Amino acid sequence: MSQTQTRNETARRARSGRLALDHLDALESEAVHIIREVVAEFERPVLLFSGGKDSVLMLHLAAKAFWPSPVPFPVLHVDTGHNFPEVLEYRDRTVERLGVRLEVARVQDYIDDGRLAERTDGTRNPLQTQPLLDAIADHRFDAVFGGGRRDEEKARAKERVFSLRDEFGAWDPRNQRPELWNLYNGRHRPGEHVRVFPLSNWTELDVWRYIAREAIELPPLYYAHEREVFHRDGMWLAVGPYSLPREHEAVVTKQVRYRTVGDMSCTGAVESDATHVGDVVVEVAASRLTERGATRADDRISEAAMEDRKKEGYF
């Protein structure tokens, strides 16, 4: 259904006295309420924006929450230096279109001056934590919007919508506040901040159905295309400057798409014929694996890989 058809249907139901929110309306309403609540409660919020579908959805909701005024906070990207070029192009074009200020914290800067060292496995996602925490401290951000969802994996499932981080940016999953109905507690001491997850109750399928309903543009990586890939640890990794096959790993050309678009060296593609958003909705509806379980090597390091990183201050 197009946006115009959706609006007409909502108006028709309102006129008939039978206005009722459908599932996506309810999720949108909850997220918009949370975003507005943060702007009302906090002094210096920021939205983490990587160009991935969840952060794209977050920025779309933020724009809706304050329309016709501009989004009243900047966005922050922690750039690993190993990003897909299509995603960086999309990131820059989107913030320019919306007139949003973009802050970038670069992992490469930390490697160049010795504050961080390259990992032996060549991946950089785990190196994002220190640049993230430094950017939060330098800009004195007190609320940090993230696109994490509880259905992605078990550490994210433990997160509150308002998730308190201590003065070191660390998360203690055993010391979080209760959240009853739509009441959120944003109190924090100087130096602490709050991570905010308005998409907590969304699933991957909800995200794609909403993207289809709102006709939201995404980086082209999310749709099936031909690409040179090689197989490693149950995933198809792209051949690129930051992701090269080992001697025994054969390079083949396949039609693939990405379910997440993180660091190129640890993000896998899936074989797919889904060239349109409607095809992706059908594909995701039939999947029994979340996108992180299917396509992220960094989450497979251990059973507690994500929780360990989040305790140190990761997203």
Q: What is the mean pLDDT of the chain?
A: 89
For residues 191 and 61, the model is more confident at 61
Q: Is residue 9 part of a domain?
A: no
For residues 18 and 33, the model is more confident at 33
The pLDDT assigned to 307 comes to: 79
Q: How many CB atoms lie within 10 A of CB 254?
A: 16
For residues 158 and 237, the model is more confident at 237
Please indicate, yes or no, whether residues 105 and 246 belong to a single structural domain of this protein.
no
Q: How many domains does the chain have?
A: 2
Please indicate, yes or no, whether residues 257 and 140 belong to a single structural domain of this protein.
no
Give per-residue pLDDT as tens, 91-118. Answer: 999 999 999 999 999 999 999 999 999 9
Q: Is residue 10 part of a domain?
A: no
Query: What are 299's two structure tokens?
Result: 């989450």
Q: Is residue 99 part of a domain?
A: yes
| Residue labelled with tokens 């994002």 | 128
Q: What is the 3-state secondary structure (H, E, C) of the chain?
A: CCHHHHHHHHHHHHHCCCCCCCHHHHHHHHHHHHHHHHHHHCCCEEEECCCCHHHHHHHHHHHHHHCCCCCCCCEEEEECCCCCHHHHHHHHHHHHHHCCCEEEEEHHHHHHCCCCCCCCCCCCHHHHHHHHHHHHHHHCCCEEECCCCCCCCHHHHCCCCEEEECCCCCCCCCCCCCCCCCCCCCCCCCCCEEEECCCCCCCHHHHHHHHHHHCCCCCHHHCCEEEEEEEECCEEEECECCECCCCCCCEEEEEEEECCCCCCCCECEEECCCCCHHHHHHHHHHCCCCHHHHHEHHHHCCCCHHHHHHHHCCC
Residue 297: is its pLDDT beyond 80? Answer: no
CA distance 65 to 37: 10
CA distance 185 to 175: 13
Mean pLDDT of 183-202: 93
Cis peptide before 131 (omega within 30 of 0): no
Q: Is residue 212 part of a domain?
A: no
CATH number, domain of 143, equals: 3.40.50.620
Please indicate, yes or no, whether residues 155 and 228 belong to a single structural domain of this protein.
no
The contacts of residue 195 (CB under 8 Å, 6+ apart) are 143, 144, 146, 159, 162, 163, 165, 171, 315
Residue 196: is its pLDDT beyond 60? Answer: yes
The pLDDT assigned to 182 comes to: 81
CA distance 162 to 151: 17
Query: What are 268's two structure tokens?
Result: 């896998």
Angle of helix 53-66 versus helix 85-98 axis, rounded to 10: 0
The pLDDT assigned to 1 comes to: 52
Residue 296: is its pLDDT beyond 60? Answer: no
Which amino acid, one-letter code, is at 243?
S
CA distance 56 to 41: 23
For residues 41 and 11, the model is more confident at 41
26-40, 180-194, 270-284: lowest mean pLDDT where? 180-194
Q: Is residue 144 part of a domain?
A: yes
The pLDDT assigned to 7 comes to: 58
The pLDDT assigned to 21 comes to: 74
| Domain hosting residue 68, numbered range | 23-205+304-312
- pLDDT level of residue 239 (50, 70, 90 thresholds): very high
The pLDDT assigned to 303 comes to: 59
Please indicate, yes or no, whether residues 227 and 99 belong to a single structural domain of this protein.
no
| Residue labelled with tokens 């002094």 | 43
- pLDDT level of residue 121 (50, 70, 90 thresholds): confident
Please indicate, yes or no, whether residues 191 and 234 belong to a single structural domain of this protein.
no
Please indicate, yes or no, whether residues 83 and 171 belong to a single structural domain of this protein.
yes
Please indicate, yes or no, whether residues 231 and 191 belong to a single structural domain of this protein.
no
- What is the pTM for the complete model shown? 0.87
99 phi-psi bin (left φ>0, alpha ψ -120 to 50, beta other): left
186 phi-psi bin (left φ>0, alpha ψ -120 to 50, beta other): alpha
The pLDDT assigned to 162 comes to: 95
- pLDDT level of residue 20 (50, 70, 90 thresholds): low
Q: Is residue 227 part of a domain?
A: yes
What percent of the chain has a predicted confidence (pLDDT) above 70?
Answer: 90
Query: What are 286's two structure tokens?
Result: 């039939």
Please indicate, yes or no, whether residues 49 and 189 belong to a single structural domain of this protein.
yes
Residue 48: is its pLDDT beyond 60? Answer: yes
Please indicate, yes or no, whether residues 232 and 276 belong to a single structural domain of this protein.
yes
Please indicate, yes or no, whether residues 188 and 249 belong to a single structural domain of this protein.
no
Please indicate, yes or no, whether residues 37 and 102 belong to a single structural domain of this protein.
yes
Q: Is residue 244 part of a domain?
A: yes
Please indicate, yes or no, whether residues 175 and 245 belong to a single structural domain of this protein.
no
